[in-house]
Each structure stands twice: as structure tokens, then as C-alpha cells.
Structure 1
């Protein structure tokens, strides 16, 4: 029919869109988690583009997309249907997988999209546990080339929604999916952001793994209560919370983010989406301290030391250097610390050196002459103290 043919031509023109490289933190977080082979759960209101983002991601990565609406399936669709053989007493009863799982195995790779997860009843969520963690559907194991991404609406905006069960929630990296006004407007104009897997630097793989392990193990050594902390409120158990499983996922994400040179914003989204806001922010803070210079290196060459711009990190470096002098009080180390404090006062807020300078002055031993650096510091310290007194008045 000519009319329908013309309509089809118009529809083709509307579907003809392009992509462009564009900074998009949530899309970058999604692609990094997919590269790390971790299940991702996108949380967002209906109609904001979660499904469209998955279609575009599959196309950009050249992966076949298999969409499964979790809420319209039975538990047996994920655990498998029993199939009787010739002699069940000898051969057993195999669990036959559904057709979509067979297609994924035949293809060897793909993007499995579990949509409407928050409308799946508890029995279906229980059946999904093995699929999400072990990649098993009935007697079939999905190949390593298959990645799993799910989407859910908050319960308040989901049709007949259920809270996500704690065991299932703890298997996902939770990402809050929102829309960007400029992205939507430009996309409706025909150009959408391009999804791309992160570029991993082969030279940084081993250091990235070592850094991730050092950061996670260091935090959990200092804060053992963070190893496993299931939320007391049932509603919060359907999100990200710390457990040995989610810390292992966080370690993997941190290694991938380090090897890819990922921004702090993207890393923050990922770690908070895996172990929760509180533990995630503590890990980010410990990462900042992890990257600080070694106090012994600073004392060996204070003139070459690179001081952080951020005030809290700079104060941490100065405090660590003074503490290193206190542990091994030698004259040359004491003088080197004064030289560092003088540099800090000249290149940053002088009030940051007041406490370290007072502590360092108390470490002076008989016979140690006052180094010239103290004279450079005296004016800055006096000015800082006068400002404090003025503020108190």
C-alpha cells in the first residue's frame, strides 16, 4: 500500500540518528561495570531512557541484545523446566533452559537485559539469584561473553512493585539513572552520546590490582564493622550495602577504574552503588590518603615534595611528616620538616601549618639551633593567630 510505504519511509527517517563522543558520567559508569563483568541494576523513573540506553549500548559494543521482562515470567523460566528422560532413576531429571538462554549460549556473547525487575514477585526474584551470580539457567551455563544488566523503577512508581530481596540486591552494582536535559534535547535532535568500553592501560594492570587490594583491605582492617552491614530497615535492603561479596565487586571496580584512569565522579557512583553511600565515601577518603606521598620520601627531599591542593589532604601530609619526626627525632629530619612547613605556608593557607609547627617546635632537643625556615614561618603563624582572635571576638 503506497500510504503505508510512505509512512515506513518517514519512520526510517525518524529512526536515523547518530552518536557522538560526549562526557556522560552515568554512561561511563555503566560501561566500566559491564567491562568488569559485574551485573548492573539501573534505578530510575519510567520513561527516562533506561531501555534506550541499553539498546544503544548493545549496538555500540556490537553485542546481540536479549531482553527478558522478569515480571511476566515464572520461576521455572529461570531455574529450568524438568524434562523426563528414558530412565530418570539412572540419568536423573535435567532442567531444560528457556529458548533465550540457548540462543545466548549459541551466540557465545551478548547483553542480557532483565527489565522491570522491581515488579517481579519474590518467587521469581529467588529464581534469579543463580542466574545473576553463577550465570546458570537450569542445567545451562551462560558463556563468559554474556553481560547482565537489569532495570527497575522505584517501588512508588512501579506497577504492582515489590521491594528487591536482600540476596538479589547484594549481587548488583546499583546505578541511579537520571536524564540530562542537554542530552535529551540533543538526542531528540538526532545525536545521542556514544557508549564505549573504557580503555585499559596494559602497563597499569598490576599496579591497579595492588592499589585496589591495598585500599579495600586497609579500610576493612581499620573498620571491621564495615565488612558486613545489612540495613536494619527492610526497604533499604533492596539497595547497595556492604558484604564480603559486594566488597569483592568494589575491589574489581576499583582496579578497572584505576587501569582506565576513570574520574573520581564515576568511581564515586560505582563504589557507592556497590557498598552503599557511607562505606563508599569512606573508601574514597581512604583512597585520597593512599595517594599521599610517603613522609620518609618528603623528609629526604622536602624541596621536591608535591603538596596536595586540597586543604584536608595537605594537612594530612604535614601531620604525617611531623609524626615521622616524632617517631625518629634526628636533627636533619627536624630541619627538613621545618623546610616543608615553610613551603606549605608560602604555597597555601598559612593556618594549616599552625598545629604542625607547634608540635614540631615541642620536639626540639638541646643544642638544636633554630633553622632559618622558622623565621619564614613566624609571620604567617602570627597572622593566622591574629585572624583566629579576631574571629573569636
Structure 2
């Protein structure tokens, strides 16, 4: 048959097939990495984003990349019984009870034994439906049916301000998710519309690191909570914030799992930050991240014992903290040899990093000198730098004062 006489709908189908033929490419994306890592950790994830931002498309691509069958359930168009099950009266309910029959989508998931359950439009589901979803998300049960371990759960929601007839997420349901903000990336959208989208891949877990990863995660979380007991449970007072990530024993347990997976996978700091804050909220999350940074700081006594060959942190904030710890150690146990060693460390810090970081530690260290301690040559090496820094600060203050007038 000539192409000129083909039915127009067949030609339209061919055109649609060409438009749907896309490829994927590896591309650094902290949000996508955080999502796949949380999926690998078998924790429910909730993607927050404006309508049309690509949440559904991202989940479709994720399922295809991970070779998982995707089951989409629009939460807002279902009744509570669609998740809790419909009662089915048998021959002898007094003896056998009344079982709760699950919906067909749950039966298909169980038969497949694996898959990605996508609960869409969660924030437009009324409170009664959200209450029914609690058991699905936490216990992985739909009616009398239990979802197998191979089923991962991801949900999506729009902020109430942009959701039609939206509801705030209930606090019990919100506390069962890892919350990830989902925004568009201009370059990703442009390349995707051109036919190439980022590829989602499961993290590569290093089997040799599993034990140490679990130990690190537990030490990090328990170390913080031991010193900050008020962080164990912090349910927000406002309804809006209760519908997001907040700290509770449940979400801290999720954080331990996420940290263990992130450590075993060698995830970068941006990914870890998204996951931690998505589990326990921004405030407790930032405190944990700061605490984790200090876990990696070198022991000030080790630095003082071998100042000439000491390895200082590369990051400026961590290097500053290490130098401050050295000065604090000398103040706590002053001795001429320790004071001299600290000056050697400050010189090494200037030689291997930003000189301005040693101004405050050097000024403080100078005040610790005893009358019978000879001024070391290291001070002469630092004196000029400190003087220049102070002159620059004074000039900046004068400029700021002039602008303020």
C-alpha cells in the first residue's frame, strides 16, 4: 500500500512513536541520586513540586531505568476503602471473620513480586484517605494483602498553595516519608525535550564498607541526640510544617538507614544533605551534618604531636574548626612545647591553605604566652600576614561606615 493512502491515524501513530523515542545519559543530579538512594534503602519517598514540574515523568523514567513495573495510583480519586479494603462476607463470618478484600492494583503488585508503587496527588487526598494510606506506607498492607519486600513506594504532592482543593498532609503520614523538593533544571529540561533525559541508576554499594557504614551512621545520630536530647522529638506547631519533614524517633531511625546507605555508596555531601533534611527537617538535619563534619576533624593532640607533617582539612570551615581546637587544647593544658607546636601548625596552615583562617587562632594563641616563653620564629612568619589582614579589615570598616552615613 502506498504511503499516500495510509490511514491518517496510522501516520499519526508513527509520528507519536518517533516523538516518544528518547534516550538517557548519565548526568550528575543530586535530587535524582537522593531519590534512587532512598528507593534502594526501601524507604517511602515524597516528592514535593509545583504542577507540571515533571514528577510523574521522573518516576516513569526511574521505573524504566531500574527495570521495575510501575503502578500509579491517584490518591485523590480513591476512597478510604480502596486502601483499607472492602469487607467480603463469607459463608460463616462468625467463624471465619470478615476479610478485607484488596483492590486489583494491589493484587497485581503482589503477583509481580516487585515494582514501584507511585501514589500521586497525595496532598489533594482528603484526610480520611490519608488516614487509610498510613497502613499502606508503614505496614505495607492493603486490606488483608501484604505487599512483598520487592515493592518500593514513592509519592508526589503539590504544595497546598498550588494544589486544587489541596489539604495539608497529616502529621502521622508526613512523618513516614523522606521528603525531597522537586524543581526543574533548565539544562535537563532542554536536553530532555531534545530527546535525552538523565539516567537514574541504583547506587553502587561497597560490600567492604557495609559494617563501617552502619557503625558510622549509628555513631553520628546517637552522638548528636546524646548531647541534644530535645532533637529526639520535635513535632512542629504549625499545620503546614507538620505536613513536611520533622524529627521523631521514627524519622531518626530512617536517617540512620539513609546515612548507612549513603556512606556505603560514597554519596557526596549534597545528596546526604537532601536525604538527612528530608527525613528530620532542616534544623535537626543541619545540626546532624555539622556534627558529622566534626566527627571527621583530626584530634588536636595528634596535630600537636606532629605539627610539621600534620594534615589539615581542606574545607575552610573544617580547617578553622581544627585550628580553633588546637588553640583550645593548648589553653586547657599550657606548656612551652605545645605552644611552639601550635605556632608550627599555624605556619603550616598558611602554607597549605587560606592565610586569613589563622588570624583569629594566632591572635588567641599569642595571648596564652607565659613570661618565660621565648617568642618562636614562627610568629615572625605570621606577623606580617596578620598585620595585613587587620589593615584590610580596618579599611573595610571605614568604607562600610562611609556608606552608612
Alignment TM-score > 0.5, same fold: yes
- How far the C-alpha of 1:368 sits from its partner, in A, is 4.5
1:191 correspondence with 2:196:
yes
Q: Which of the residues 162, 179, 184 maps onto 1:157? A: 162
TM-score, length of structure 1 as denominator length: 0.93
- What aligned pairs does 1:193-342 form with structure 2 within 5 A after superposition? 193-342=198-347
Runs of 4+ in 1 over 6 A off after TM superposition: none
- How far the C-alpha of 1:187 sits from its partner, in A, is 1.3
Q: Which of the residues 54, 58, 62 maps onto 1:49? A: 54
2:132 match = 127
Partner deviation per Cα, 1:316-346 (whole Å, 9 max, x = no partner):
1011112223334444333322210121233
1:29 match = 34
How many angstroms apart in 2 are the aligned matches of 1:388 and 1:188?
50
How many angstroms apart in 2 are the aligned matches of 1:349 and 1:161?
50
Q: Which of the residues 379, 385, 389 maps onto 1:374? A: 379
How many angstroms apart in 1 are the aligned matches of 2:179 and 2:261?
17
1:82 match = 87
- How far the C-alpha of 1:137 sits from its partner, in A, is 1.2
- How far the C-alpha of 1:55 sits from its partner, in A, is 0.9
Larger deviation, residues 19-28 vs 278-287: 278-287
1:384 match = 389
Larger deviation, residues 60-69 vs 283-292: 283-292
How many angstroms apart in 2 are the aligned matches of 1:240 and 1:196?
25
How many residue pairs end up in the alignment?
393
How many angstroms apart in 1 are the aligned matches of 2:343 and 2:295?
24
How many angstroms apart in 1 are the aligned matches of 2:395 and 2:161?
52
Q: 1:297–1:70: structure 2 CA closer, same or farther, 3 Å change rule?
A: same
- How far the C-alpha of 1:157 sits from its partner, in A, is 2.0
- How far the C-alpha of 1:2 sits from its partner, in A, is 2.7
How many angstroms apart in 2 are the aligned matches of 1:156 and 1:380?
53
CA contact (8 A) 1:345 1:380 kept: no
Q: 1:383–1:16: structure 2 CA closer, same or farther, 3 Å change rule?
A: closer
1:108 correspondence with 2:113:
yes
1:139 correspondence with 2:141:
no
Where does the alignment leave 5 or more consecutive residues of structure 1 unmatched? none
How many angstroms apart in 2 are the aligned matches of 1:90 and 1:331?
86
RMSD value, Cα: 2.0
How many angstroms apart in 2 are the aligned matches of 1:296 and 1:256?
32
1:118 match = 123
- How far the C-alpha of 1:233 sits from its partner, in A, is 1.2
Larger deviation, residues 225-234 vs 109-118: 225-234
CA contact (8 A) 1:40 1:174 kept: yes
How many angstroms apart in 2 are the aligned matches of 1:231 and 1:290?
28
Larger deviation, residues 349-358 vs 135-144: 349-358
TM-score, length of structure 2 as denominator length: 0.91
Q: 1:351–1:4: structure 2 CA closer, same or farther, 3 Å change rule?
A: closer
How many angstroms apart in 1 are the aligned matches of 2:238 and 2:38?
27
Partner deviation per Cα, 1:155-197 (whole Å, 9 max, x = no partner):
2222221111111111111111111222122112111111111
Where does the alignment leave 5 or more consecutive residues of structure 2 unmatched? 1-5, 399-405
- How far the C-alpha of 1:349 sits from its partner, in A, is 4.1
